[in-house]
Structure 1
Amino acid sequence: MSKTVATRPYDDQKPGTSGLRKRVPHFQQPNYAANFIQSIFAAARVEPGSTLVIGGDGRFFNREVIGLAIRMAAANGYGRIVVGRNGILSTPAASNLIRKRGASGGIILSASHNPGGPNGDFGIKYNVSNGGPAPEKVTEAIFRHTRTISEYRIVEDAAPDLSVLGETRLGDATVEIVDPVSDYAALMEELFDFAKLRDLVASGFRLRFDAMHAVTGPYAHEILEKRLGAPAGTVINGEPKEDFGGGHPDPNAVYAAELISEMMGPAAPDFGAASDGDGDRNLIVGRGIVVSPSDSLAVLAANAHLAPAYAKGIAGIARSMPTSGAADRVAEKLKVGIYETPTGWKFFGNLLDAGKVTICGEESAGTGSDHVREKDGLWAVLLWLNILAVRRESVSEIMAAHWREYGRTFYQRHDYEEIDKAAADGLMESLRQRLASMAGQRFGTLVVSEADDFSYKDPVDGSISTGQGVRIVFSGGSRIVFRLSGTGTQGATLRVYIERFEPDPARHGDAPADALAELVRTADVIGEIKARTGREEPDVVT
């Protein structure tokens, strides 16, 4: 039996670039999660008998909300509800399941790279039938429903045991608990040459994968250790935990320090990698070298033809606007399209569906291809391994060769976290007011050639997105970008992206901090960061 429960709207349920994210106690308010889930179903306009995929990254409060979502889906007309065992599904695995099962959509419970636990972060994201994040017209519809909601529907019976594989009837729906890893692992075997990867591992090649006590642990154990034959212990921090073992599941130089320290040591493995809370981001590390996400995107695009799935070449490359221009030079040489989009994987979906691009990437450690409609951490790791297996060169050698051919783009992102929102908004508004007069201004040796507030017109459906970040471009191509992040849960996060292209191979060995020092100083002057936020330096530099 299903019932209708009266409720009242909350005024803060506007989805960001990756769904709705708040602290756990905020989600635990009466009907807070139920309101948002019911609003998803209202915006999705569910056809009776449709299939819905549900899963998450295992963080605190995951099981409770999955149980709620199952019961609500059964009461809202879904015919089949496919759920990962124990509520676990990495975001790319969920995208794959949506596509494979012909589902109308999916609910993914994650706050991605944000910390977890009883006082940590939680999130709910809706993915549409192509497996990708809901586009803006859908998230806007969800938000409209949250402002007027007065009731939600739910089945009175309890949700089935998430630990037991198989099918259960719940109201008029069938709930199917599935192995979260098997379908995804099978897809990876279709894309990559696992025989070559096994030979690489058998040759004595050593790798290390840090799952950060997040969702990719079971996937990495199955693929890297079981199917590719890497020895036990290759995967570290492989058990998913509700609080990520007290860590911060963001695969960058700050939070993956354990892995990077090992990779810089005298007995380092040949290859290191890490993934984040929900498995869609990645960090690539070679012996003695950390590969920036922007460089990783460029290298993967330039070498994708070495993997079976991309042997005939790629259709094009897409990157988010703040991501460096390293991939642009690869696209130019390959004579394929390059597309610059706003931040947020949802902007890649139309390009992928239209066949305009094959490989996509963001500077925030996300890369992926047309195999799903999400960024995919393990996919990036396996493509790197496929490239290494064919080229039989080290990561350092591959990077040096790439820079010789395409030039090196020095790049950093500076994050100022949990700053006063009014101060952050004031900073951005001040920048926008000064854009028209900025061209021609000199800052030290740097001369502004152009400045704008990035807007994007989708080449497929014509939709327009404005206010996506302030770009300051200097003569010679150096660039500073200012934008506010949509993935935080407290205050505001200001992100400043700093980029300089260096064509001279004699300068490719410079330290990024030295290469970018003048741009860093200029960013503070133009953005008035210290004056407006009181921050002397960023919280995180990646």
Structure 2
Amino acid sequence: MTIRTIATTPIAGQKPGTSGLRKKTPVFMGHHYLENFVQSIFDVVGAAGKTFVLGGDGRYFNDRAAQVILRMAAANGAARVIVGQGAILSTPAASHLIRLNKTDGGIIMSASHNPGGPEEDFGVKFNMPNGGPAPEGVTEAMYRRTTEITAYKIVEAQDVDLGRIGRTSLAGMVVDVVDPVADYAALMERLFDFDAIRAMFAGGFRMRMDSMCAVTGPYAVEILERRLGAPAGTCVNATPLPDFGGMHPDPNPTWAKALMDEMFGEDAPDFGAASDGDGDRNMVVGRGIYVSPSDSLAVLAANAHLAPGYAKGVKGVARSMPTSAAADRVAEALGIGSYETPTGWKFFGNLLDAGRATICGEESFGTGSDHVREKDGLWAVLLWLNILAVRKETVAEILAQHWARFGRNYYSRHDFEAIAADKAEAMMSALRGALPGLKGREVEGMTIAAADDFAYTDPVDGSVSSKQGLRVMFEDGSRFVLRLSGTGTEGATLRMYLERTAPGPAGLDLDPQEALAPVIRAAHGLARIADFTGRKSPDVVT
């Protein structure tokens, strides 16, 4: 085996976003593209003598990219790589393996909830030794390295057999191919009351788990059907496919329509759930009732003590700024810490590591805890099942009681996709410039209390993140937030977050879009969305 040093030149645009570098698959397959970025990772974090975890969500190019990354790791002097069988690992499972084996980090091949296939999306990100996504300082260093790279190292060798579990060697580097599910499933058994959940299924409880032809399928089948005794067929779309079966693997009411139709149809199951491309997101649905991610976070925080792994209580709850304040009310009632961070799971890492937060969540269908340093879709589903098994109530009954106690935060997100980037930026710039003059203005019968561009100072390390979203807040507690998403690969995605509070007991059973109508009109009017983008209605409503 020969280590080769290949001359290269910088490739523009290799700047990681909140979840690594994401581009169209043909871009990643282009000459030197993957190699330049991976070499930049190793140049920044160092590889000599280190151990890494490697895996991905099984999307198109996952298998070939894994072989390239292994050969580059060996060429850069890595001592060992732990890789999921078939180069498969869900993102939370990868985070767990990093932490369990005390490795020096890991490389995850995924574009999360984005579509996969020869013409769709691919992604690569680096997770730190704590199991969480690389912070901004590290990703910025990687990006700078991509702008000055002149060569990369790679071993000339045959492919490693990733289909067979066991240990092999590549140019002196140990390659351990492991069962991608086993260690993660064992962790879930330690956190949750599997006996109680098993008894609930034995008693006739019915569930539908839609893995959307993505990575969670094998995990869901092993845990739900084999270990918890759910009937065969409970898990649908459970075989990961390179193109996700043509699906958009984003677990929301729009893209998981088949699940929604079943849960709102005749003879619906008691509980429904879906997960995304790499297994870190979740959607939860009861019979005839949808659970918004913000409400799910609040309910999980209020009831986590019912699961053995959280019996001692929750230390604190953290949410991303665009996520509704429902979890804040729970934290206040429990007398625990409450934290508001920018969007991006990496911002929760310091809070989790410092023991300030136990449960974290984002409105974008991501929830997790301190068991790993990523959001974890199947973890959220299992915690819901644990709560249902102990309380012996329906999802609708649990939500009704929660709202009666804490009040209801009506909430929705409207996505305007593939907008011309220059138009989106112009709209955001215009609203940003108008923010200082908005206080005291009355819009749609509501008085503006404050307006700003959200900035965050990390309470653990003091780092500052600015320009994290434009906020307009009203005196009655309503608000809207506008952000341009960093997870797409084409044009710009404008996300509009809308919230209005019903303190209870009245006004708890309205349709969310009806309850939010004044806030929606205010957001469109103040931001002049149609004027700048030509769009009058969103592509996706969640």
TM-score range, shorter chain: over 0.9
**Aligned match of 2:105:** 105
**Aligned match of 1:22:** 23
**Aligned match of 2:204:** 204
**Alignment of structure 1 residues 485-496 onto 2, 5 Å:** 485-496=485-496
**Deviation readout 1:492-542 (Å, 9 max, x if unpaired):** 000000000101323111111110111111111011100000012110000
Give the secondary-structure state (helix, strand or coil) at the position aligned to 1:495. strand
Q: CA deviation at 1:43?
A: 1.1
Contact 1:70–1:159 (CA<8 Å) still a contact in 2?
no
Give the secondary-structure state (helix, strand or coil) at the position aligned to 2:409. strand
2-structure distance, mates of 1:66, 1:219 = 21
2-structure distance, mates of 1:275, 1:351 = 25
**Aligned match of 1:215:** 215
Higher mean alpha-carbon deviation, 155-164 vs 398-407, is at: 155-164
Q: CA deviation at 1:266?
A: 1.9
Identity within the alignment, %: 62
Contact 2:444–2:521 (CA<8 Å) still a contact in 1?
no
Aligned residue type for 1:9: P
**Alignment of structure 1 residues 400-415 onto 2, 5 Å:** 400-415=400-415
**Aligned match of 2:39:** 38
Q: CA deviation at 1:331?
A: 0.3
**1:49 has 2:34 as partner:** no
Aligned residue type for 1:245: G
**Aligned match of 2:329:** 329
Higher mean alpha-carbon deviation, 326-335 vs 21-30, is at: 21-30
**Alignment of structure 1 residues 59-458 onto 2, 5 Å:** 59-458=59-458
Give the secondary-structure state (helix, strand or coil) at the position aligned to 2:279. coil
Give the secondary-structure state (helix, strand or coil) at the position aligned to 2:404. helix
Aligned residue type for 2:223: I
Give the secondary-structure state (helix, strand or coil) at the position aligned to 2:467. coil
Aligned length: 541
**Any unmatched runs of 5+ in structure 2?**
none
**Any unmatched runs of 5+ in structure 1?**
none
Q: CA deviation at 1:45?
A: 2.4
2-structure distance, mates of 1:166, 1:114 = 32
Give the secondary-structure state (helix, strand or coil) at the position aligned to 1:53. strand
**Aligned match of 1:519:** 519
Consecutive aligned runs of 4 or more in structure 1 exceeding 2 Å deviation: none
Give the secondary-structure state (helix, strand or coil) at the position aligned to 1:148. coil
Contact 1:71–1:158 (CA<8 Å) still a contact in 2?
no
Q: CA deviation at 1:64?
A: 0.8
1-structure distance, mates of 2:103, 2:501 = 44
1-structure distance, mates of 2:75, 2:317 = 42
2-structure distance, mates of 1:512, 1:56 = 36
**Aligned match of 2:473:** 473
**Deviation readout 1:233-284 (Å, 9 max, x if unpaired):** 0000000000000010000000111011111112011000000000000000
2-structure distance, mates of 1:488, 1:280 = 17
TM-score, reference length from structure 1: 0.99
Contact 1:216–1:278 (CA<8 Å) still a contact in 2?
yes
**Deviation readout 1:211-248 (Å, 9 max, x if unpaired):** 00000000000000000001110000000000000010
Contact 1:319–1:360 (CA<8 Å) still a contact in 2?
yes
TM-score, reference length from structure 2: 0.99
**Deviation readout 1:104-127 (Å, 9 max, x if unpaired):** 010000000000111110000100
1-structure distance, mates of 2:44, 2:285 = 42
Cα RMSD for the two superposed structures: 0.6
Contact 1:192–1:383 (CA<8 Å) still a contact in 2?
yes
Aligned residue type for 1:353: D
1-structure distance, mates of 2:453, 2:513 = 26
**Deviation readout 1:138-192 (Å, 9 max, x if unpaired):** 0000000000001001111123111011111101201111100000000000000
Aligned residue type for 2:73: A
Q: CA deviation at 1:431?
A: 1.1
